[in-house]
Structure 1
Amino acid sequence: MGTKQKKRKKFSKDQWLAIGFLTPSIVLIIIFVYGFISWTGYVSLSNWNTIVPDFSFAGLKNYLFLFSDFRFQSDLRNMLFFTILFIGAVILLGLCLAILLDKKIKGESFFRNIFLFPMALSFVVTGVVWQWLLNPSTGVNNFLKTFGIEPLWYTDTNILAGFQWGQIEFGVPVAIISIVIASAWQMTGFALAMYLAGLRGIPEELREAARMDGASELQIYRKIILPQLRPITASVVIMMAHISLKIFDLIYAMTGPGANFVTDVPGLYMFETTFRGNYYAHGAAIAIVMLLAVAIFIVPYLWNNRRADS
């Protein structure tokens, strides 16, 4: 009898209620997330590259086509350098601004709201605004022309420190810097909020003890503050990498693919390939490559967090 009572007590009424509430969400996630990912993977291995569905097996043909395609090679180059520059800019600006606000300056709330405001805008709005600001014939350039400076911004097709790699010149496209400026302007507030919360969570006693031991402010930040902020930096890197690897709307609104695809990214290529060209298998292959790129960042992070919690 005791064993039976124990078995009956395995799930209480509240637990069954929780399972009941969670089940619909789990079913929907399985269908609309993992089900659609599986469907996309299946389509990427098919011959469906016309408006009429063709599910005959094509193997890796679509992937081999992509990695030999000049545009997709350019997209991978742009995605790589955009991700590096974007993450670096957001971390650097967010950390510096957080350190300044942590000094409890006058009007801190006002400045904090100003820095966080861009996050309230959509990437489409940001793209349109910065498209005007950095347009070679309008915006900021009208002011710069008075000093004899006429930057091309996102219309510049030059490649910095480039070398030939396959069909493309491998280096930092100058036009990508314009995209980095616009996207970092919008997302720096996120890093600012994260770092400011981290700084406020570090006990003041640690800094005072270091000062009493003769440490300079630079040494305090280098030896005490920054190591304490490593988990926050990791979170910011993961979030920004997730955004940068699948970015579409800002570039679509701001520049489009650009001349010689200098501002093109896989998300934009996938949209045009799938919904304008009706090359569904090619578009699905691009989507799977983007998924794998995001997984490279996300999966190790989640795995480490799970190990730390266990």
Structure 2
Amino acid sequence: MAVNVKRRKKISSDQWTAVAFLTPSVVLLGIFIYGFIGWTGYVSLSNWNTLTPDFSFAGLSNYLYLFSDFRFQADLRNTLFFTIFFIGLVIILGLGLAILIDQKLKGESFFRNIFLFPMALSFVVTGVVWQWLLNPSTGFNQFLEVFGIQPLWYTDTNILAGFQWGAIQFGVPVAIIAVVIAAVWQMTGFSLAMYLAGLRGIPDELREAARVDGATELQVYRKVVIPMLMPITVSVVIIMAHISLKIFDLVYAMTGSGANFVTDVPGVYMFETTFRGNYYAQGAAIAIIMLILVAVFIVPYLWYNRKGES
């Protein structure tokens, strides 16, 4: 009986120790994450659009203004196509390179390091480098000039397959493709590492069994390998979507908002609105919309994982 009492006291003491260690992190998380999110949401519903704080209630007027604004509509269009091309190319190239490296080629570690190297750079550095490489008067164009080709890259204001929708021409902005190239160059190494780890985790017996049943090498990958990599694909999609929806530094360093806002994104608009225009309520509204866009991808993923663990 005395042993049980001592054991209960020990367990209680251990629990209090754990609580004491976790409490500072929980408090700081509550203040600097959820507290600031709440504050941003409160500001977005106010009239604080000057240097002087004005917290009078404005309702949804800041949000209504944004969705009728030409620049914000262009930002949503650019973000949509950037996200689609970015995620698609990162998955295709990452999976293709992972399959190639998985063939036990000579110099595997060398090529793996080359593909992973861009991840060591910040998006700011990537933006500056690709700004020079894709500048219409320097970089690749000096080589392409020999063939009589002079793309405008991120200075091109054309919209492919465009049609009028709201205040903007809805379609694929040619200039956003240049930003996609830079982003894919940096982040393909991440999906490569993820897929390569997944490929190395698939037992060789499964592939051999499929080959014995008469499957070609293409069918082995299409029917066995790629379906088993689906959880990794979902993870890559979620992480890349999170990056693309809140992208700021790459675009700001490489192109800025671009001519006619063809490379503008909500992150750049939010920064310029808040810290250059002093429209704090409108900037907060943009930030909340960005949070909602990211949550659309992240929350279902977290909920699915939680249900899978229970």
**TM-score, normalised via structure 2 length:** 0.97
Q: Residue in 2 aligned with 1:38?
A: 38
Q: Residue in 2 aligned with 1:165?
A: 165
Structure 2 CA distance for aligned equivalents of residues 127 and 46 of structure 1? 35
Structure 1, gaps ≥5 residues long: none
Q: Residue in 1 aligned with 2:278?
A: 278
Structure 2 CA distance for aligned equivalents of residues 192 and 13 of structure 1? 46
Structure 2 CA distance for aligned equivalents of residues 45 and 6 of structure 1? 55
CA RMSD of the aligned region, Å?
1.4
Q: Residue in 1 aligned with 2:253?
A: 253
Structure 1 CA distance for aligned equivalents of residues 39 and 7 of structure 2? 40
SS in structure 1 of the partner of residue 53 of structure 2: coil
SS in structure 2 of the partner of residue 161 of structure 1: strand
Alpha-carbon spacing, 1:6–1:83, altered in 2? closer, same or farther (3 Å): farther
Write out per-residue CA displacement over residues 100-130 of structure 1, whole angstroms, 9 at most, x where no aligned residue.
0000100000000000000000000000000
Q: Which amino acid aligns with 2:179?
A: I
> Where in structure 2 are the equivalents of 1:134-213 lying within 5 Å?
134-213=134-213
Write out per-residue CA displacement over residues 199-250 of structure 1, whole angstroms, 9 at most, x where no aligned residue.
0000000000111110001111111101100000000000000000000000
SS in structure 2 of the partner of residue 277 of structure 1: coil
Q: Which amino acid aligns with 1:278?
A: N
Deviation at 1:9, TM superposition (A): 5.4
SS in structure 1 of the partner of residue 218 of structure 2: helix
> Where in structure 2 are the equivalents of 1:15-34 lying within 5 Å?
15-34=15-34
Q: Residue in 1 aligned with 2:105?
A: 105
Structure 2 CA distance for aligned equivalents of residues 309 and 220 of structure 1? 30
Write out per-residue CA displacement over residues 161-184 of structure 1, whole angstroms, 9 at most, x where no aligned residue.
111101101011000000000000
Structure 2 CA distance for aligned equivalents of residues 206 and 302 of structure 1? 30
Q: Residue in 1 aligned with 2:297?
A: 297
Structure 1 CA distance for aligned equivalents of residues 219 and 22 of structure 2? 49
Q: Which amino acid aligns with 1:296?
A: V
Deviation at 1:6, TM superposition (A): 9.9
**Percent of aligned pairs sharing the same letter:** 80
Q: Which amino acid aligns with 1:194?
A: M
SS in structure 2 of the partner of residue 59 of structure 1: coil
Q: Which amino acid aligns with 1:93?
A: L
Q: Residue in 1 aligned with 2:87?
A: 87
Deviation at 1:19, TM superposition (A): 1.9
Deviation at 1:20, TM superposition (A): 1.5
Deviation at 1:14, TM superposition (A): 3.2
Q: Residue in 2 aligned with 1:117?
A: 117
Write out per-residue CA displacement over residues 270-290 of structure 1, whole angstroms, 9 at most, x where no aligned residue.
000000000000000000000
Structure 1 CA distance for aligned equivalents of residues 147 and 33 of structure 2? 53
SS in structure 2 of the partner of residue 257 of structure 1: coil
Structure 1 CA distance for aligned equivalents of residues 98 and 160 of structure 2? 31
Deviation at 1:256, TM superposition (A): 0.4
Q: Are 1:71 and 2:47 counterparts? A: no
Deviation at 1:10, TM superposition (A): 8.8
Deviation at 1:5, TM superposition (A): 4.3
Q: Which amino acid aligns with 1:104?
A: K
SS in structure 2 of the partner of residue 162 of structure 1: strand
Alpha-carbon spacing, 1:101–1:59, altered in 2? closer, same or farther (3 Å): same
Structure 1 CA distance for aligned equivalents of residues 18 and 255 of structure 2? 48
Aligned length: 309
Write out per-residue CA displacement over residues 21-60 of structure 1, whole angstroms, 9 at most, x where no aligned residue.
1111111000000000000000000000000000000000
SS in structure 2 of the partner of residue 193 of structure 1: helix
Q: Which amino acid aligns with 1:113?
A: N
Q: Which amino acid aligns with 1:144?
A: L
